[in-house]
Structure 1
Amino acid sequence: MSTLNPTITGVASTAPRSAGSGPRKTREGQRKKVSNVFYSAIAVVVFVFSAFPVYWMINSSFLPTNMIRSADLTFFPGSSFTWNNYQTAIFNQERAPFLPALGNSVMVTFFVLIVSMVLAFMASLAVTRFNFKGRKAFIIAILAVQMIPGEAMMISIFRIIDGWQLLNSIIGLGIVYLSGVLPFTIWTLRGFVAGVPAELEEAAMIDGCSRSKAFWRITFPLLAPGLVATGVFAFIQAWNEFVMALIIMTRPESMTLPLWLRTFQQATQATNWGGLMAGSVLVAIPVVVFFLIVQGRMTGGLVSGAVKG
């Protein structure tokens, strides 16, 4: 009998704990469900708050101007659906034409995108992989430049570009955009390069790869998501910029798309809200298409790079 007491006592002592674990797990599961519902509700509110202006822009672009100005809200065009706003935005010759503005925006955007990616990539490699004199000063200068608002340098920039005889030119506007985009792209890419251990290249070189081959086969694929993310920023920054384009591109034929949108608001006429909304949709489409093209690289680039390595 004495040998059975410990066993019986042990069973009796563990029984209450096992019985109490069920309600505890149930309470934890209920808390998780409540928290999931709470966070999901917040996400829905944030999404609606962010997406509604886009929906209203698209909806208004298909409405007649009189319905847009009406006090009654129209959440869906219905029988009032019209393409006239898009026809006015694209083909109306009374204001600056759409196609030249589109061409100017495309050229300056891809100029800034390509040049900024090449220069920022080389600069980020230099400040991350090599110790040279003035390295810390260069990094501090990058941070300091980003703290200066572009509007504070508008007069200086205008005089410089005018002195170079680059007003109303893609190159002149591209140089101005590069001065604003490069500091951020260098700083962002520097973080991605620093996150890739240099030991990976050293291991590949021990296995017989040259330094350049080790970089392009091991390090570069791991940097792909960083390059894409930084490229998206450079693209959006150059595509949507308005203030600098306003002082550099002064001729109607030199307008970019943000300046072209301004032509729907005139001092002597009422604002053409339908045409303005249609034009805004046309301006937003290339950005959305560009993001859809590269978003796969943003999410899968790190994994694919690691597999290749």
Structure 2
Amino acid sequence: MSVATRAPQTRAAETASVDSRHVTPGRRHSPTRRLKHAWSSTLWGTVSIIVFVCSVFPVYWMLNTSFKPNADVISPTPQWWPENFTLRNYVTVLFEPARPDRANFPSAFMMSLAVTGLTLLICLLFAFIGAIAVSRFKFRGRRQYIIALLVIQMIPGEALMFTIFGMVDSWRLLNTVIGLTIVYLAGVLPFTIWMLRGFVAGVPADLEEAAMIDGCTRTQAFWKVTFPLLAPGLISTGVFAFIQAWNEFLMALIIMQGPGAYTLPIWLRAFQQATQSTNWAAIMAGSTLLALPVVIFFLFVQGRMTGGLVAGAVKG
């Protein structure tokens, strides 16, 4: 190797050595600072574990109780693990025959699935259009419309239940899927628009303009560039809309009065009241089955939420 080739390498090595001598001491932390950082990390880690345990323990206790005989549930000595493991509670919930005064689990499950699915599809469609209109277009009354969305969220549903019942009754939609879906849409849609509005506002409009410069029409630019970036937001808002519609109790109790029109929360209440002595083990089994679709739905869309984020980042 020639001297001319070695000289730049030598100078580069000397410069790196000098930079390391100047930079390394500045990165060192005093023992007191390191100890303080370690105590802070330990404290926040402990708090996180406590919050996690407090959040998960009720779910664990529900599952634990659902696999016990009812005699073990009402025992004064708590059992942290089902010693007498049984599936009888789930058999009782799933295959108990329907009665004139209350529906069975499969009928209530299909009713909840129909109402929630219809609510979710219509809500995402209208919320998507409304969020784009609020975020991308300037029109008269836009500010008042946004404020109205917030005000609607502040009104408790209990204050409107008699008015809602009168309207649905006048439309002859009591005990129908359409009637309960309309009520759910009125309650879920404002929150969904407000939440989705933040995702739409976070996507720069310059991306569509750049795609239009490359030869795309406005519609093509929206579907090829903007929509993939909004897919994670649609999934996130869809999860919240699904949970709200699936677990709603009050409006379903008022509107769905016949046993054949019960949703799952109403069925669980009727199941508890129908037993002479409360079968807590079977009630916990029913509660587990009630919560299971929400968990499955979230696990199903979680991967697509992450995949949408990655795909949107690559396309952007």
Give TM-score scaled by structure 1 length. Answer: 0.90
Query: What letter matches 2:287 in structure 1?
Result: S
Q: 2:159 aligned with 1:152, yes or no?
A: yes
C-alpha separation between the residues in 2 aligned to 1:188 and 1:38? 33
SS of the aligned residue for 1:90 comes to helix
Q: Report matched runs for 1:211-226 at 5 Å.
A: 211-226=218-233
CA-CA distance at 1:301 after TM superposition: 2.1
Q: 2:145 aligned with 1:138, yes or no?
A: yes
Matched residues, percent identical?
A: 58
Distance 1:21 1:121, change over 3 A: closer
C-alpha separation between the residues in 1 aligned to 2:27 and 2:153? 55
Q: 2:53 aligned with 1:44, yes or no?
A: no
Q: 2:88 aligned with 1:84, yes or no?
A: yes
> Equivalent residue for 1:200?
207
CA-CA distance at 1:268 after TM superposition: 7.2
Is the contact made by 1:264 and 1:271 (CA closer than 8 Å) also made in structure 2?
A: no
> Equivalent residue for 1:292?
299
Gap runs ≥5 in structure 1: 1-14
C-alpha separation between the residues in 2 aligned to 1:301 and 1:197? 17
Which is further off, 107-116 or 218-227? 218-227
CA-CA distance at 1:27 after TM superposition: 3.4
Of 255, 270, 279, 1:248 maps to 255
Distance 1:41 1:29, change over 3 A: same
Of 229, 243, 265, 2:272 maps to 265
> Equivalent residue for 2:75?
70
Is the contact made by 1:264 and 1:275 (CA closer than 8 Å) also made in structure 2?
A: no
Query: What letter matches 1:70 in structure 2?
Result: S
Query: What letter matches 1:89 in structure 2?
Result: V
> Equivalent residue for 2:117?
110
> Equivalent residue for 2:16?
none
Of 21, 28, 34, 2:33 maps to 28
> Equivalent residue for 1:277?
284
C-alpha separation between the residues in 2 aligned to 1:297 and 1:154? 37
* Cα RMSD for the two superposed structures: 1.9
C-alpha separation between the residues in 2 aligned to 1:265 and 1:223? 43
> Equivalent residue for 1:9?
none
Is the contact made by 1:264 and 1:272 (CA closer than 8 Å) also made in structure 2?
A: no
C-alpha separation between the residues in 2 aligned to 1:19 and 1:209? 55
> Equivalent residue for 1:58?
63
CA-CA distance at 1:296 after TM superposition: 1.9
C-alpha separation between the residues in 1 aligned to 2:200 and 2:250? 32
Give TM-score scaled by structure 2 length. Answer: 0.88
Is the contact made by 1:65 and 1:272 (CA closer than 8 Å) also made in structure 2?
A: yes
Which is further off, 203-212 or 132-141? 132-141
C-alpha separation between the residues in 2 aligned to 1:19 and 1:188? 47
C-alpha separation between the residues in 1 aligned to 2:126 and 2:57? 38
